[in-house]
Amino acid sequence: MAENKGPKYTVNAVSRVDGRDYWTRVGVAFENSSGEHPLSLVINPGVSVTGKLVLSVPKAKDETDAPAA
């Protein structure tokens, strides 16, 4: 079993409007120890998802909270 039990990925819905991509975080993904089912997705309550979903590695806490220099 993995040491870190937190989410491995963020789940983002990507929509294209007027030639631009807009990313909206809609949930998280966890790694499973099962080879048959390697990921579990948890979509936030009340979110309706259609179209393209992208899994991305979350940024480290210190990267997102650090003030700009």
Cα angle value 24/50/39 (rounded, 5°): 75
Q: Which residue has the tokens 């998280």?
A: 28
Contact present, 7 and 24 (Cβ < 8 Å): no
Is residue 63 one of the residues assigned to a domain? no
Exposed/middle/buried for residue 43 (C-beta within 10 Å: 0-12, 13-18, 19+): middle
Is residue 65 one of the residues assigned to a domain? no
Is residue 4 one of the residues assigned to a domain? no
7/56 Cα distance (integer angstroms):
11
Is residue 62 one of the residues assigned to a domain? no
22/16 Cα distance (integer angstroms):
6
Number of domains, the chain = 1
Residue-wise pLDDT tens digits, 11-57: 999 999 999 999 999 999 999 887 788 999 999 999 988 889 999 99
pTM: 0.73
